[in-house]
Structure 1
Amino acid sequence: MLRQYELVERVKAYDPDADEDLLNRAYVFSVKAHGSQLRASGDPYFSHPIQVAGILTNLKLDDKTIACAILHDTIEDTVATHAEIKRLFGPEVARLVDGVTKLSKIETQTESERQAENLRKFLLAMSSDIRVLLVKLADRLHNMRTLHHIKREEKRRRIARETMDIYAPLAERIGMYGFMEEMQELAFRQLEPDASETIAQRLDRLRETTGANVHRISGAVEGLLRSKGIAASVTGREKRPYSIWRKMQAREMSFEQLSDVMAFRVIVDDVSDCYRALGIVHGRWPMVPGRFKDFISTPKNNGYRSLHTSVLLGSEAARIEVQIRTHLMHEEAEYGLAAHWAYKQGKDGAPAREAYPWIDDLLEVLQDAANPEELLENARLAMFQDQVFVFTPKGELHQLPGDSTPVDFAYAVHSDLGDSCVGAKVNGRVVPLRTRLINGDQVEIMKGKVKAPDPAWESFVASAKARAAIRRHVRHKRREELQAMGSKLLDAMAGRLQVALTDDILSPALGQLKLQDRPALELAMAENRLTDEEVSDALAPGAVVRAPRSRSTKAKAAAAISIEGLTPGVGFLLCDHCRPVPGDRIAGNRAPDGPICVHMIDCDLLVATGTDWLDVRWGAETAGAVARMAVVVHNQPGALASLAASIAANNANIVGLALKHRDREFHTDILDIEVESVAHLATIMAGLRQVKAVVSADRVRQ
């Protein structure tokens, strides 16, 4: 453990103007506050915050950040308070400490809720001052280094999984690859101990046989570059066990089949030397096609810059990976944001948000989360590491998660563009919205007048921002639909009871039902959380509920369907694949030697017969159409009857029914239902989802 004077000397070595008194007071306060507390290893607890501070001195961080590291566990684990920290060490240090402190005292129902709220609070603090993230990463790194002292395997695995899913990607996002790789390696040992041990043993054997080759290859590359007038330092290193294991899993290969276990790093003086060195290496050894990446002209989101290539070396054509970068690029690749931390300029951490716009995107998707599980899922998606590089028509570069679609691109540009997206062109060609983008694609989004993302998009988008926005819209839309349904049910109930829904009637009724207001009552009725008897007894005690008269279902879809935008008298068909209904955004397309077909705007078949879309819309006289639904139902007596009763109660008619899957517990029914509009269909689905026998009810395509 670092002694007090050693820690202060470390800081003063790179920052002679550091507040020595602040560091000394923080050190003494932390030691006294933690007192006789012990860690799982048996060491005094205060050794942990001191070691965290020591890690941050290697990054040459400012004195207030070091003080925060020393004090970061005092509020959580001792009797110290935020007010006391603020009084003794100032508001800036207190704010940093509060940002790192967990919400350990909140009472939540589950571990996932506690974890999610801790993460939310930490990320909000990080968004206002990036130094909170630096302290948290150092804290997590030291905890991972001592994780093996924890006796409970379940706890070790939980901490390791959280590190792998959240903190290692966060380190990668700010370019701190040294932190990221060590955290991944330590977590890998806990999550896959057998695989970690096996790969480590094989690396040991490989090191014994290839050690001389590494020095020989490094010398050969360095000598070649120097002979061409380029001063370079070349080092060889083996990939870490986790990196090897991940590649083996992704490519379904054995250890022996991997040909690039060793990587060589070439460090030169300036950018022009990087490209000269690349040309010399490619001129001497054959390049492996598809393995060249230029992260200098197009840096990663975290600012990482380097040239990556693979070449075939020697008579055995051994494949080696070569990374070429400048000294500054190498320092930034190791320490990322911390590599150019300007404590002398007095930066307070907030400007980092301009350099790392993903922080704002991450906050946006977290705020859209409906529950703890969704929050954690969004956080993991938002920090997804694989990237694809695409361009706007104006040449602006956007980095998206791997397997992204035009919908992900639209939301990456702006949330409003995503909400109003109706189509896309990739490299000048109209494509379905579910098309996967690849590096170098130029994407143009076709924008509609209405902001209404399709719920079906959630099944194929890859980015957390897009998924969160779609889910938010679906939740709001579903709530509006349920609210409208509940309003109708309440008005119908009042009509049967012959009571006026005045404040004199509603206030005592709401009190009896323990609800806040009329919208809450309507929502409870729509969700079947209240029976008719409960509501009627609250509105008119002692009254008898008269069952509503059954109304004959009209064959709405049998009426003429009107499509505007076509020449009068021209025939058309509704696509049998997507089955549009009034209210869906639609477009027309003329098949070769065939009639015009009307599709939903994101139908896979829309572009199958040509690229010219017809601007069409539903006519005012359209009475309805047939929609198709998939309903998963518990395999129990009366399930189909309750399903049909719910559909009938919402004034709809089943015109087709097929059993798609059936097993011991569930069966899936495909239903064709006559509906008036998208809103009517949504009401039917909302009603079905409230039926106890129904597991799920969703609109489907052919």
Structure 2
Amino acid sequence: MTKYLSQTPEEEDQMVENAFHEVLEAYLASNHRKKVEIIERAYRFAKNAHKGIRRRSGEPYILHPIAVAKIVISELGLGSTSICAALLHDVIEDTEFTREDIEADFGTKVADIVEGLTKISGGIFGDKASIQAENFRKLLLSMSSDIRVILIKMADRLHNMRTLGAMRPEKQYKIAGETLYIYAPLAHRLGLFKIKLELEDLAFKYEHPTQYAEIMEKLSETADHREKIVEEFVRPVRKMLDDAGFKYEIKARVKSAYSIFNKMQTKKIPFEEIYDIYAVRVIFENDDDALEKIRCWQIYTFFTDGHRVHPDRLRDWTSIPKANGYRALHLTAMGPEGKWIEVQIRSRKMDEIAELGYAAHWKYKTGVQEDDSELDSWMNTVKDILANPEPNAIDFLDTIKLNLFASEIYVFTPKGDLITLPAGSTVLDMAFSIHSQVGTHCLAGKISHKLVPLSHKLDSGDQVEIITSDSQYPQPEWIEFCNSAKAKNRLRSILRKDRKVLLEKGKRIFEECLAKENIQSSNQIITKILGNHHLQSRDDLYMMLANDEINISHKELKDLISTRKSLMKKLLRNPFSSKKDGDNQMKQPVNRKEVYTLRPDDSTPNYRLESCCSPIPGDDVFGFVDEDENVVVHKIDCPVAMRLKSAYGSRLVATSWGGIAKRFSAVISIDGIDRHGILEEITATISTKMNINIRSLNIAAKQEVFHCDLTVLIDTAETVGAICDALKHIKGVKFAHRIS
């Protein structure tokens, strides 16, 4: 903030003008019709509206809309309407100006987009789950009416992520979690590949700063070596491209830091063992769409002539594009030093659509609808989900997310029609994708003259016949067989209608039982009955009563009345006897604006570790403040934590480990080549050399390979790392990593 406060008003104004001129220069350098006057008017309007307002970093607020406008033109390639909307996107929300003011000065289109952006402002998620879901529905509805709303929202989120350093830690967790949970998958689905990668890397940088710095340092250290390998790999291909008369460029591409981290976590391997860091992209100029595919395959032969090609890694997206419109030809070939190198072959048009997604589609529109068919298909799925929305906000987001980040498979109907489904889809998913009625009455599938059940997972290329029966009707367990958003949403909608009828029936039975015994329904009565039958909620009780799975006996109700009377006597004698000392005192609220220090060394730790991810001192963690002001600790990349960050941002608290930790259990998985005495060496290394307490050990060998699960008592995550490093130095041990 000091940087901006030290400037004079004149210097600050000049800085703002310079930033806007960069937007204008990028616009003038583009292929758009030059409507400079309306863009300048939008800038002056926004500058006046935000006058005197500053961001948290201390910079004048107008620099944010200018930065968003620059992303809109420079990185998304959109035109004057979108640039104006980007400059004005916070005016309705943050100032006294209205939609009518914007419409009067800039027309209906700009006003519609700004209004759409205003409805979904402040991030997708509010403090309450219902607000969160509603805002996300508005986002998707706005997108279905004008795709530019979501494209500008992406630019807005990208700039917020680039300037996230000015926010408090718990806000960083919320915004980074929200970005990974929804915005990055949405960018992926819209084909905004470049933006998706940057959003993921920025979120990773704030969630795991140490690991991010380590990976970036290693990438920097190996840059020169990578360039030499790639240059040696493409040298013979360059000559063939030149001889064939291609105009082209070859780019070396490095795997993103977030992708590398994900692979290290998933495969439990160090940076040095990731072999697909290398990638090459060949982009060729093409003036004839009819020859585009042929030229891709011609370049493919240039690589196969001089290199060994991986037989299972050929991907042809020139014939059938991905659901986000992506088209390219991929192969993986052996490079120098035995390194596999992925090659992406694209025309200039394919490359722009790959990087800019549907923003670039508009540039190539020919009046034919094919260009947008995939987007239309996806938007129809979104509209289906919006027509039957999930009442639970988190379920709603999860349902949408199923269709955001899924890889696709391609299956065929008996007549040869192509259907695109998320990878992992089943016969039931396909049935619902054809029609709701087909899904509702789906009995089985038939593939290659063989009957397969509803739960059978489909492979790309399967030709599937859906077998139906009028007597078949959806069952609750069918949810487990669904992997597409459309199927899950339709199925839940059908089951909800049935469930509502059963709940009403169960409630009526329950009330009749109580009425017979002249008992007034109360929370205490219901809690006791739930406890007697080991049930979680009233709905569970009503459902089981409706289905005749339980019944409430006369004796059970009489026992409840007598227990309640004796309890009342005790309470009347001593009103506070049922409470522990201090229970009636209010617990001190957790200050969520400060970093909360976790004290594992206290006799009663000031936090609770969550079992879903089993964090230990030293892990990257954050706190979630529950209803009783207790701090619940999750690992930052825990899937449950991801949902909490997205849905309940106001309950997050940044944490740091303090004090000397107690001992915690950790399980280490060890794999290697079996030999005589290896078990003795493993135990000696841990117990004798490192003085670590082994709690359990389970080892089994099959032929020459062994696997061992080892439980040890440790104090911090660093100790686990040291144990794994020591184990890897034992002859025969190939892998050692913590699994819990």
SS of residue matched to 2:478? helix
SS across alignment from 2:451: strand
**Number of aligned residue pairs:** 520
Match for residue 365 of structure 1 among 373, 379, 385: 385
2:312 is equivalent to residue 290 of structure 1: yes
Q: Quick one: distance in 2 between partners of 1:135 and 1:106?
A: 13
TM-score using structure 1 length = 0.67
Change in Cα spacing, 1:255 to 1:645, as seen in structure 2 (3 Å) is closer
3-state SS of 2:280 partner: strand
**Consecutive unaligned residues in structure 1, runs of 5 or more:** 498-530, 536-632, 656-702
Q: Distance in 1 between matches of 2:346 and 2:425?
A: 29
Q: Is 1:163 the counterpart of 2:179 in the alignment?
A: yes
1:438 aligns with 2:459: yes
Q: Deviation of residue 477 (structure 1)? A: 0.5
Distance in 2 between residues matched to 1:385 and 1:107, nearest whole Å: 21
Shift of 1:139: 0.8
Q: Which secondary structure does the structure 1 equivalent of 2:419 belong to?
A: strand
Residues 218 and 235, structure 1, Cα contact 8 Å, conserved in 2: no
1:218 aligned partner: 234
* 1:136 correspondence with 2:153: yes
Measured after TM superposition, the shift of residue 34 of structure 1 is 1.1
Over residues 448-478 of structure 1, what are the superposed CA-to-partner deviations in whole Å (9 max), with x where a residue is unaligned?
2257322111123211221112211121101
Quick one: structure 1 residues 353 and 79, their matched pair in 2 at CA, closer, same or farther if it must change by over 3 Å? Answer: farther
Paired residue type of 1:93: V
The equivalent residue for 1:569 is: none
Deviations 1:108-147 (A, max 9, x none): 9844333322211111111011111111111111111111
Aligned pair 1:145/2:166, yes or no?
A: no
Distance change in 2, residues 1:137/1:116 (3 Å): same
Taking the aligned partners of 2:80 and 2:38, their CA distance within structure 1 comes to: 8
CA contact (8 A) 2:445 2:451 kept: yes
1:309 lines up with 2:331 in the alignment? yes
Give the letter for the 1:24 counterpart.
E
Give yes or no for contact 1:219–1:234 (8 Å, CA) kept in 2: no
CA shift, 1:73, in A, is 0.7
- Counterpart of 1:262 in structure 2 is 278
Deviating more after overlay: 472-481 vs 17-26: 17-26
Pick from 211, 215, 221 the counterpart of residue 205 of structure 1: 221
CA shift, 1:482, in A, is: 2.7
The superposition leaves residues 14-37 of structure 1 with CA deviations (integer Å, 9 ceiling, x where unpaired) of 466444332222111111111111
Cα distance change of structure 1 residues 462 and 647 upon mapping to structure 2, 3 Å threshold: closer
- What code does the residue aligned with 2:413 have? T
The residue that corresponds to 1:393 in the other structure is 414
SS of 1:39 mapped into structure 2: coil
Q: Partner of 2:622 in structure 1?
A: none
Determine if contact 2:514/2:521 at 8 Å carries over to the other structure: no
Shift of 1:164: 1.4
Partner of 1:423: 444
Cα pair distance change 1:637/1:533, threshold 3 Å: closer
Distance, in Å, in 2 between the alignment partners of 1:241 and 1:29 is 40
Distance 1:30 1:648 in 2: 60
User: Contact (CA 8 Å) 1:285, 1:313: kept in 2 or not?
Assistant: yes
The separation in 2 between residues aligned to 1:204 and 1:375, in whole angstroms, is 41
Letter matched to residue 199 of structure 1: I
5+ residue gaps, structure 2? 1-15, 287-291, 523-527, 552-740
Q: Measure the CA separation in 2 of the matches of 1:354 and 1:197.
A: 38
SS at match of 1:243: helix
1:187 to 167, 186, 203: 203
Measure the CA separation in 2 of the matches of 1:478 and 1:343.
Answer: 49
Distance 2:329 2:124 in 1: 50
For 2:467, what is the secondary structure of its paired residue?
strand
Q: Alignment partner of 1:388: what SS?
A: strand
Candidates 252, 261, 264, aligned match of 1:248: 264
Counterparts of 1:223 and 1:645, CA distance in 2? 75
In the superposition, relative to structure 1, how do residues 73 and 645 fare at CA in structure 2: closer, same or farther (>3 Å)?
A: closer
1:357-408 deviation digits (Å, cap 9, x = unpaired) = 2122123224421121222212222212322222222223222222211111
Q: Distance in 2 between matches of 1:651 and 1:301?
A: 43
- Amino acid across the alignment from 2:306: R
Aligned equivalents of 1:383, 1:361: Cα separation in 2: 11
Preserved CA contact (<8 Å) 1:311 1:321: yes
Distance 2:544 2:125 in 1: 41
| Residues 425 and 431 in structure 1, CA contact (< 8 A), matched pair in contact too | yes
User: Does the residue aligned with 2:473 lie in a helix, a strand or coil?
Assistant: coil
Give the secondary structure class of the aligned counterpart of 1:235.
strand
Aligned to 2:77: 60
Match of 1:120 among 137, 140, 150: 137
- Secondary structure, in 3 states, of the residue corresponding to 2:357? helix
Matched, 1:328 2:349: yes
1:101 aligns to what SS in structure 2?
A: helix
Letter in 1 for 2:301: G
Tell me the TM-score normalized by structure 2. Answer: 0.64
Deviation at 1:87, TM superposition (A): 2.6
Deviations 1:326-360 (A, max 9, x none): 1211111111111132499999x999577432122
- 1:612-668 per-position Cα deviation (integer Å, ceiling 9, x unaligned): xxxxxxxxxxxxxxxxxxxxx99966759x99999997695889xxxxxxxxxxxxx
Aligned counterparts of 2:279 and 2:458: Cα–Cα separation in 1:
29
TM superposition shift of 1:156: 0.8
Does the residue aligned with 2:411 lie in a helix, a strand or coil?
Answer: strand
Cα-to-partner distance string for 1:666-702 (whole Å, 9 max, x where unaligned)? xxxxxxxxxxxxxxxxxxxxxxxxxxxxxxxxxxxxx
The alignment status of 1:404 with 2:428, answered yes or no, reads no
What letter corresponds to residue 476 of structure 2 in structure 1?
Answer: P
State the AA in 2 paired with 1:399: T
| Counterpart pick for 1:454 among 475, 484, 488 | 475
- Answer yes or no: is the 8 Å Cα contact 1:221–1:234 preserved in 2: no
1:290-689 pair list within 5 angstroms: 290-314=312-336, 316-342=337-363, 355-366=375-386, 367-449=388-470, 452-485=473-506, 533=520, 652=548
- Asked if structure 1 preserves the Cα contact closer than 8 Å seen for 2:428 and 2:481, the reply is no
Question: CA 1:179–1:264 in 2, change beyond 3 Å: closer, same or farther?
Answer: same
Distance 1:492 1:209, change over 3 A: closer
Question: How far, CA to CA, are the matches of 1:27 and 1:463 in structure 2?
Answer: 43
Give the secondary-structure state (helix, strand or coil) at the position aligned to 2:405: coil
1:22 is aligned to: 38
For the residue of structure 1 that corresponds to 2:152, the secondary structure is helix
Instruction: Tell me how far apart the structure 2 counterparts of residues 23 and 244 of structure 1 sit (CA, whole Å).
Output: 41
Structure 1 residue 6 displacement after superposition: 4.8
The correspondence for 2:94, drawn from 62, 66, 77, is 77
Q: Find the residue that maps to 1:83 and give its secondary structure.
A: helix
Cα distance, 1:635–1:60 mapped onto 2, change above 3 Å: closer
Quick one: distance in 1 between partners of 2:53 and 2:370? 35
Contact 1:141 1:179 in 2 (8 A): yes
Q: Which amino acid aligns with 1:304?
A: Y
Whole-Å separation in 1 of the counterparts to 2:371 and 2:252 = 36
In structure 2, C-alpha distance between the alignment counterparts of 1:645 and 1:25, rounded to whole Å? 63
What CA deviation, in whole Å up to 9, does each residue of 1:395-446 have, x standing for no partner? 2322222221111122223333222211112333211211222222222211
Q: Is the 8 A contact 1:166 1:380 kept in 2?
A: yes
Q: CA deviation at 1:308?
A: 0.8
How do 1:31-50 residues align onto structure 2 when only pairs under 5 Å count? 31-50=47-66
CA contact (8 A) 2:113 2:149 kept: yes
Report sequence identity in percent. 37
Call closer, same or farther: CA 1:125–1:649 in 2, change over 3 Å. closer
- Within 1, Cα distance between the matches of 2:430 and 2:52? 54
Cα distance between partner residues in 2 of 1:123 and 1:650? 38
